[in-house]
Structure formats: C-alpha cells, structure tokens
Structure 1
Amino acid sequence: MSDNQMTVYGNLGTPVDYRESKGFGWAMFRVGSTPRFFDRQLGRWRDLETVWITVKASRTLAQNAAASLKIGDPVVVIGRLRSHTWEDKETREQHRRDVLEAATVCHDLNRGTSTFTRNEPAAAQEQPSSDGEAVAEFESSYTTPAPGTPAEPVPV
C-alpha cells in the first residue's frame, strides 16, 4: 500500500510549540490557507473560508522550525495526513484530530526572501576540535585546485 503526501501553502497562524522528552523533540503549529479566486462578475478577487491545518514535526525538523518560523510567515509544508485519536481520562470522551506529519517545512519564497544556515553535524557540535596543530596542518596542506581541474576529495 502506498502512502500519499500532501502539500499545504499558507501562513503560520500560531507560534511553534516545541517540546522535548527523553531526547526526542517535536513541534506543533497551525497553518492557515485561504483559497482565493477572481470573481469575473464582480471584477475583483474573493477569498473563501480559511482552512486550518495542524502540523506536527519531529526531531531536527522540529528544532529548525521552532528556530526559524514566526506567526504570519508564508510557509510550504509537505507531509502525510494522519488521524490521531485519544480518550479523555476524566470524561471518557473520544477525540480525533487530523494532523499533517511534516516531512518538509520551508518559507514560501514566492512571497519573500529567507536566509539559510546549515546545521552543524552532530559530531562537530559534541566534540569541538581542541587540537590546534591538526587544524593548522590541514589548513596549510589544503590548496585550491587550478581552474579547470577537478577538486580532490578532502580526507576525513
């Protein structure tokens, strides 16, 4: 059985709520999408009712979303639509919420600009190099290839 992906274009409607438990992080937020069309009879654009989607991101995507997004930002979210059900322990009432489990979240660059900052690899964050001689040796041995020649891979 295949799993379908869904793409939502809209604006961030709530702050990103980031939480972490036992080293696993996740974030929840809502995206509002208002369909718009040109009404030829009235000669103007008209908005339809806003559709609100709850989005859930996990791990690094959740951390990056919390650090990058603010209310009102135009976003594009790609993910899988899932139905989450639970029972209220006090009232024994059943609840259901459809949630878009995000695989990708980004700013909509049709509507503005953004600046990208790459995450540092986990090993580099945990173990910063304290061996200045090794770093200096690497920097002195690295040479820029001549134009038109392929670059040699750097040993890791």
Structure 2
Amino acid sequence: MAGDNSVTVVGNLTRDPELRFTQSGQARATLGIAVNRRWQNRASGEWEEQVSFFNVVCWREMAENVSETLSRGNRVIVTGRLEQRSWDTQEGDKRSVVEIVADEIGPSLRWASAEVRRNERDANSGGYQQGSSQGGSQGGSKPAQQKPGPQGQSAAKPAAEYYPEEEPF
C-alpha cells in the first residue's frame, strides 16, 4: 500500500511513561522502548546482539491508561505509525526526530501475566471516564489469579518450549 508506514515493535520500556497535557487539554504520554535482537553468527558461532531504541507517543485516553498502567522494564507490544517531527533550537539549529505514534499498546504476555479492566464509558461524551484503567502486572508483580476451567482443570495451557536466542529461520 502506498504511503503506509505501519510498524509493530516488541521491547522493554526504558523509562516510566511521562504524561503531559497540551494547552487544549489533550493527554499525551511519551515513553521509550528498547528492542533487542540477538542471534548466533553462523560463521563464528558467537552470539551477537543489537539494540534499537524508539520513542513512542500516545494520545488521549490511551495516554492516560499507559501512564497509569505501564512502568520501566515492562515488556510491551506497540503498533503504530512512524512520524517525523522537526523543530528549531534556541540557537537556531534544526532538529528532527522519528517517533512511533501508537495506535495500540499493551503488555506482552510471553513472560508475564496481566489483569485487564475495561474503562467505564461516559454516556454523555462517548468517551471513557477517567480513573478506571487497564491494569497490568509484569516483572515482580503478583500474577493474576487463574480461574479453573471445566472439571476443575486450570484454564492455562503449558507454553511451547521457546528459545529467544535463536532465529526463527
């Protein structure tokens, strides 16, 4: 598709989301994500690693939910679009940065569990009320309780064995 610049990245937050509001009252959250790529060099047999860092921007309700839910170190999945922003410094130098403007963001459940709570909708504005959020737990947080499935069996199924150090091809 011409002009399509959609991206999906999976990585760890490098800092806590920073929530700010524009002069018109729009919520804007910024966060950093580190994407690690590790592979074994077939010629030398040595493990090699490359880390890429991205700035992510979230707007409106998503910005508020992200700032209330996610924190540094959380593994997240971000889908969005690339956007270049340019400005002039006080010294007159031109600067630009490419950011991911998030369409969706959430915790990765590969090595963590999360509890999701739907925000209550505000009937008057069609939006969501503040104060409710999508909650998540990762890292050192206590995982959510699993509800037993049919005949008392656990609803969780064992994960397939996965070696993140290996390339899938």
Superposition TM-score tier, normalisation by shorter sequence: 0.7 to 0.9
Equivalent residue, structure 2, for 1:100 = 100
Q: 1:47 to 1:121 in 2, by over 3 A?
A: farther
- Equivalence for 1:25: 27
Within 5 Å, which residues of 2 pair with 1:67-106?
67-88=68-89, 90-106=90-106
Q: Secondary structure at the match of 1:113?
A: coil
In 2, the alpha carbon distance for the partners of 1:77 and 1:47 equals: 24
Cα distance per residue 1:47-85 (max 9 Å; x no partner) = 423100000000111111101101000000000011110
Q: Which amino acid aligns with 1:37?
A: W
What is the TM-score when the length of structure 1 is the normalising length?
0.72
Distance 1:68 1:47, change over 3 A: farther
Alpha-carbon offset, residue 102 of structure 1:
0.4
Q: CA deviation at 1:37?
A: 1.3
Higher alpha-carbon deviation: 77-86 or 21-30: 21-30
Superposed, which structure 2 residues align to 1:40-55 within 5 Å? 46-55=47-56
State the identity as a percent.
Answer: 26
How many positions carry a matched residue from both structures? 124
User: 1:41 Cα deviation (Å)?
Assistant: 6.1
1:115-149 C-alpha deviation (Å, 9 max, x unpaired): 101011023849xxxxxxxxxxxxxxxxxxxxxxx
Quote the Cα distance in structure 1 between the aligned partners of 2:48 and 2:72: 20
3-state SS of paired residue (1:60): helix
- Structure 2 residue 14 is the aligned partner of structure 1 residue 13: yes
Counterpart residue number, 2:164: none
> In 2 relative to 1, CA 47–19 (structure 1 residues): closer, same or farther, beyond 3 Å?
farther
Deviations 1:103-123 (A, max 9, x none): 000111112111101011023
2: distance between equivalents of 1:101 and 1:91? 28
Residues in 2 aligned to 1:36 and 1:113: alpha-carbon distance in whole angstroms: 24
Give, in whole Å, the separation in 2 of the partners of 1:83 and 1:9: 20
AA at the equivalent of 1:108? S
CA contact (8 A) 1:14 1:30 kept: yes
Change in CA separation of 1:43 and 1:17 when aligned onto 2, cut-off 3 Å: same
- Given that 1:34 and 1:47 are in contact with CA atoms closer than 8 Å, whether structure 2 keeps it comes out as no
Higher helix share: 1
